[in-house]
Amino acid sequence: MFTKILVANRGEIAVRIIRACREMGIKTVAVYSEADRDSLHTLLADEAICIGPAPSSESYLNMERIISATVAMKAEAIHPGFGFLSENARFAELCEKCNIVFIGPSAELINKMGNKSEARKTMMEAGVPVVPGSKEPVRKAEEAKAMAEQIGYPVMIKASSGGGGKGMRISYGPEDFDANFQNAQMESVKGFSDDTMYLERYIEKPRHIEFQILADKQGHVVHLGERDCSIQRRHQKVLEESPSIAISKELRKKMGETAILAARTVGYENAGTIEFLLDKNKNFYFMEMNTRIQVEHPVTEMVTGMDLIREQIRIAAGEPLSVTQDQIRIEGHAIECRINAENPARHFMPCPGLITNVHTPGGNGVRVDSHIYSDYRVPPNYDSMLLKLIVHGKDRKSAVAKMRSALGELVIEGIETNLDFQYEILNHEAFQNGDTDTHFIPTYFPEYGK
């Protein structure tokens, strides 16, 4: 096992990783920017090293500085967390070249799955169901339009290097196709320097269902059930739960086996997520694979009793998975609410600043993953997520009751947050009834969907 790990991240996930390392008897090195001298991850790690000025490009995204810090501090491995360098194949490759263990899959795999049209083709060939659409990437608008006629409108136009809604457009018919294709492609060239696109049939009001998988170096692959992440605002997840109310035991088995097949097909290693769209008739389609630990991993931990960060570290160190598929049980129901420094009344504009007072809820089945504290100043340079409130109950109804109670007790003073918006979601009859597809926010909160 490793003796020292460098955590190449900040905020709550850096804190989460440091805590897992401490439990495992592994020393930790935090890296921090000049804006994060007083951040909890800096204070909590065994050692900390400043890697540059506040802008991410000069600190948390600066590969050379992070590698140098790892060498200087004599850490054997880097945990990248999520965001920043976590899905950067060049960074994983740089780690490999410097004999540093990157806690995640290989650079080659990150690359392969990072190209969404290539991933789609790989899955098609392996017999994993994908949304009907193009098999090869496409550059030319006329060629794409001919494909769209074949697929049938409406169609989704997506960027090969996209994900999370960037470089994505819907076309309802030939009359609006060219403009939408051009706009999506322009966004992709600007954002990813890639003009290759792919097409999919538009699935109406789907659910976003993702399966957590774990794969070790010995070739064992397991799934840990699903997360329903359908409640999103502008492609940002707001609230996640596990299990999904839309998935029966039989469907879970089928989708879980498909997720394992997807992971096996590419020879996956470490923790990963297979994203599916689930339509109204319960057909499911592979959408993309995320090759990192995700923000919403705690809901899976709560229903399985496993520690995903610990498993990631064990796998990277060459140890086998601590469980087999038949030892994994999904028990009860977990919900996570993301609390962000943002103002719902002003189009969810980020609202950094000084937090004057914090009170976090606790008790049976209540978990808080956060880096904030009273008198902490939220810097304006990074993601606005402040805290993840996670609850676990015996069923969905009791988890909802627990979350309403916990949200009611949570206090964050000094800055604007989306806490009241989360409370409104939990209080909504449609949420309580499980009427929670991807159109939940635009449908029930049209004033917030904008």
Q: Among all residues, which ones are annotated catalytic?
A: 292
Determine the Cα–Cα distance for residues 322 and 311; give it in Å rounded to an integer.
7
Indicate the residue among 16 and 233 with the shorter CB distance to ligand MV4: 233
Closest-CA residue to 293 (of 26, 14, 36, 1): 14
Indicate the residue among 305 and 449 with the shorter CB distance to ligand MV4: 449
CB of 244 to ligand MV4, least distance (A): 13
Indicate the residue among 10 and 169 with the shorter CB distance to ligand MV4: 169
Give Cβ neighbours of residue 385 (< 8 Å, ≥ 6 apart): 11, 12, 295, 338, 339, 340, 341
Stretch that binds ligand MV4, among 5-13, 86-94, 201-209, 380-388 (CB under 6 A): 201-209
- The length of the chain in residues reads 450
The verdict on 305 binding ligand MV4 (CB under 6 A) reads: no
* Long-range contacts of residues 125-128, Cβ cutoff 8 Å, at least 24 apart: 126/261, 126/262, 126/265, 127/261, 128/258, 128/261, 128/262, 128/265, 128/286
Determine the Cα–Cα distance for residues 437 and 443; give it in Å rounded to an integer.
10
Indicate the residue among 282 and 359 with the shorter CB distance to ligand MV4: 282
CB of 120 to ligand MV4, least distance (A): 11
Determine the Cα–Cα distance for residues 350 and 347; give it in Å rounded to an integer.
9
Q: For ligand MV4, which residue of 92, 100, 144, 203 counts as binding (CB under 6 A)?
A: 203
Closest-CA residue to 134 (of 161, 162, 168, 157): 157
- Contact by Cβ (8 Å): 368, 387: yes
CB of 288 to ligand MV4, least distance (A): 7
Stretch that binds ligand MV4, among 194-202, 240-248, 302-310, 427-435 (CB under 6 A): 194-202
Q: For ligand MV4, which residue of 208, 338, 396, 402 counts as binding (CB under 6 A)?
A: 208
Indicate the residue among 201 and 220 with the shorter CB distance to ligand MV4: 201
Binding pattern for the stretch 226-245 against ligand MV4, x by CB under 6 A and - elsewhere: ----x-x--x----------
Stretch that binds ligand MV4, among 85-93, 195-203, 296-304, 313-321 (CB under 6 A): 195-203
Q: For ligand MV4, which residue of 36, 87, 194, 200 counts as binding (CB under 6 A)?
A: 200
Determine the Cα–Cα distance for residues 87 and 293; give it in Å rounded to an integer.
10
Which residues within the stretch 272-301 sit at the binding site for ligand MV4 (CB under 6 A)? Answer: 277
The verdict on 438 binding ligand MV4 (CB under 6 A) reads: yes
- Side by side, which strands form the sheet with 333-340? 284-290, 270-278, 207-215, 221-233, 236-242, 333-340, 385-393, 366-370
* C-alpha 228 chain-centroid distance: 12
Indicate the residue among 229 and 406 with the shorter CB distance to ligand MV4: 229
- Contact by Cβ (8 Å): 243, 223: no
CB of 170 to ligand MV4, least distance (A): 8
Surface-to-core class of residue 424, CB atoms within 10 Å of its CB (0-12 exposed, 13-18 middle, 19+ buried): middle
The verdict on 127 binding ligand MV4 (CB under 6 A) reads: no
Indicate the residue among 15 and 148 with the shorter CB distance to ligand MV4: 148
Stretch that binds ligand MV4, among 12-20, 61-69, 203-211, 260-268 (CB under 6 A): 203-211
Q: For ligand MV4, which residue of 206, 225, 243, 365 counts as binding (CB under 6 A)?
A: 206
Does a cis peptide bond (omega within 30 degrees of 0) precede residue 379?
A: no
Indicate the residue among 206 and 365 with the shorter CB distance to ligand MV4: 206
Does a cis peptide bond (omega within 30 degrees of 0) precede residue 154?
A: yes
Which residues within the stretch 155-174 sit at the binding site for ligand MV4 (CB under 6 A)? Answer: 156, 163-165
> How many of the chain's residues bind ligand MV4 (CB under 6 A)?
16
- Contact by Cβ (8 Å): 202, 154: yes
- Contact by Cβ (8 Å): 404, 427: yes
CB of 376 to ligand MV4, least distance (A): 31
Binding interface with ligand MV4 (CB under 6 A): 131, 156, 163-165, 200-203, 206, 208, 230, 232, 235, 277, 438
